[in-house]
Amino acid sequence: MKSDPAQNEEIAGRLAALSHPARLAILNHLSRFEGCGCGDVVDSLPLAQSTVSQHLKVLLEAGLITHERRMPRSTYRLNREALRSVSRELNSMIDECCAANCCTSKHD
């Protein structure tokens, strides 16, 4: 129930990976076209190939997607388990915040 700095850091990191519209759009695209390559994603967004590749890297490093580098076409897939896990973590953190019947009101 304590606010663990390390845990905050971890959750914040995962949320950071999610906090960019392009990355959300990429996740959305991957959810509809399982196993598509970088180029497919590029076609679905108004961004340069290198930019999309960067965003994919961010998502990959956050563990939210997986990567199969089978040239020439590499495939990206959602890591649904990880996504659900982030969602659950945020949920429980917020639940704790909301449930906490603030034992002590410091001033009032």
Partner DNA sequence: TGATTTCATCGTAGATCGACGATATACGAT
Partner DNA sequence: ATCGTATATCGTCGATCTACGATGAAATCA
Question: Of 49, 87, 91, 92, which one interacts with DNA (CB under 7 A)?
Answer: 49
Copy the structure tokens of residue 20: 């960019």
Residues 66-95 vs its own copies: string with x where CB under 8 A? -------x-x--x-x--xx-xx--xx-xxx
CA–CA distance, 94 with 82 (Å, rounded to integer): 18
**Exposure on the CB side of residue 41, measured as CA atoms within 13 A:** 32
Copy the structure tokens of residue 66: 């997986």
Cβ atoms of 41 and 33 closer than 8 Å:
no
Is 31 near its own copies (CB under 8 A)?
Answer: yes
Point out which span in 1-9, 40-48, 83-91, 94-102 binds DNA (CB under 7 A).
40-48
79 binds, among DNA, its own copies, none (CB under 5 to 8 A by kind): none
